[in-house]
Amino acid sequence: MKKIAILCSGGDVSGMNAALKRFVEYALLKKMQPYFIEHGYEGMIDDHIYPVGYKEVAGIITKGGTIIKSARSKRFLEKHYRTQALKNLKAHGIEGVVVLGGDGSFKGMQKLSQESDISFSGIPATIDNDIAGTEYCLGVDTALNIIKNAIDAIRDTASSFDRAFVIETMGRECGYLALVSALTSGAELCLIPEIPYDLHTYKERFLREKSAGRDYFVAIVSEALDQTQTLVTWFEKEIGIESRATVLGHVQRGGNPTVYDRLMAYRFVTHAIDGLLEGRKDAVICYNDGGFGYRSIEDVAFVDYMIPEELLLLGKEYGIKEGTTGTSPV
């Protein structure tokens, strides 16, 4: 294999630039010519493909987002556009492609693999951490640290004004970010789609704690539930405390990548390139139990992700505090 390329697809995450840096340097170390594909699959269709070297990745490791841009491509669903994309790859002599993205990106990768002899290697990169087969996706640690800093700051003002703050995290249909953030920030309430909840379970406890001297609350809620404003109203009407909502939004996707995400980018890319050199045609690099392995796209992109049971059990404790009635979890 003489020429390989890399692209970013779907939502950007902090750590992508660290991955690009490692990709270029490791490819050159292995005597291959690295290429960048800008704007994901859209750029592959439009031939935004070019060779790169050390200069293009100098100084990028500290930056969030991705210097080669990302995109979601509706055109890629149509075969004639995929055919054009493959023609562009072949015109450049590219034999292997590394794809940073989520399950939708991997499904696109599978299509290209089935329709050509080009090899593909996927790296899970999404702050949602909702990719089956891997316990960690690139960018998650940075996102969690951004959320942690926001919650810590909001708790300061919540305590100063005797308010309840409802903080909405991203995560698409997955409650991982909300759950881990709640557990590690000492939040009083956490609502996620994976755990059924009944607000009546909380009312008695919150009213009792309020009468005993608690003068503020911090609640974390996943965007998947679309209950942020409802929860603000509930705090004001049922608990009798002034409330505010904070939607963290896309701030969770950017920012200076943490040391952990930089290291994971380095390790993910190393295994991705090694997999291509070993002859793997369509593998996704997965991280579990402290080690890396290769899984087929079918075992990743077409399987629903489940939050580890250990974390769910910790989350359920929110709804069974001592002295509460009922058995409804979070």
Residue where the block lists tokens 């290429």: 35
Containing structural domain, residue 209:
141-253+309-319
Catalytic residue set:
128
CA 247 to each of CA 58, 166, 170, 250, 285: distance values in angstroms, whole numbers, following the listed order: 34, 8, 9, 9, 32
pLDDT of residue 322: 40
Q: Quick one: 62 and 135 in the same domain? A: yes
Q: Are residues 184 and 240 in the same domain?
A: yes
CA atoms lying within 13 Å on the CB side of residue 131 = 34
Q: Is the pLDDT of residue 116 over 80?
A: yes
Backbone angles phi, psi at 197, to 5 degrees: -145, 160
Q: Tell me the per-residue pLDDT of 238-288, one tens digit each, with 9 for 90 and over.
A: 999 999 999 999 999 999 999 999 999 999 999 999 999 999 999 999 999
205 part of a folded domain? yes
201: confidence class by pLDDT, cuts 50, 70, 90: confident
Is pLDDT above 70 for 141? yes
193 in any annotated domain: yes
Q: Is residue 203 part of a domain?
A: yes
For 64, 133, 163, the CA distances from 59, given in Å and listed in that order, are 12, 32, 43
User: Are the beta carbons of 168 and 231 closer than 8 angstroms?
Assistant: no
Residue 291: pLDDT band with limits 50, 70, 90: very high
pLDDT of residue 319: 64
Share of the chain above pLDDT 90, in %: 92
Q: What CA–CA distance (Å, rounded) separates 268 from 18?
A: 11
218 CB-contact burial (10 Å; exposed 0-12 / middle 13-18 / buried 19+): buried
Stretch 52-71: mean pLDDT: 97
Residue 120 tokens read as 């593909």
Q: Is the dihedral of CA 142, 147, 152, 156 positive or negative?
A: positive
Is residue 301 in a domain? Answer: no
**pLDDT mean over 210-218:** 95
Asked, for residue 167, whether it belongs to a domain, the answer is yes
The mean pLDDT of 166-193, rounded to a whole number, is 96
Question: Do 180 and 154 belong together in one domain?
Answer: yes
Number of domains observed in the structure of the chain: 2
The answer to the question of residue 99 being in a domain is yes
User: Does residue 219 share a domain with residue 149?
Assistant: yes
330 is a domain residue: no
Q: What is the average per-residue pLDDT within 167-188?
A: 96
The pTM of the full predicted model, rounded to 2 decimals, is 0.93
Same domain, 42 and 85: yes
What percentage of residues in the chain have a pLDDT greater than 70? 96
pLDDT bucket at 51, cuts 50 / 70 / 90:
very high
Provide the 8-state DSSP code for 127: T
Q: Which residue type sits at 176?
A: Y
Q: Is 304 exposed, middle or buried (0-12, 13-18, 19+ CB in 10 A)?
A: exposed
Q: Is residue 270 a part of any domain in this protein?
A: yes
The CATH number of whichever domain residue 226 belongs to comes to: 3.40.50.460
**Amino acid occupying residue 30:** K
Specify burial of residue 291 (Cβ count, 10 A radius: 0-12, 13-18, 19+). exposed
Q: Quick one: 101 and 65 in the same domain?
A: yes
Q: Are residues 82 and 100 in the same domain?
A: yes
Whether 59 and 188 share a structural domain: no
Mean pLDDT, residues 75-98 taken together = 97
Distance CA 134, CA 124 (A): 8
147 and 23 co-located in one domain: no
Same domain, 248 and 288: no
Residues 81 and 216 both lie in one domain:
no
Alpha-carbon dihedral sign for residues 235, 237, 240, 243: positive
Both 189 and 313 in a single domain? yes
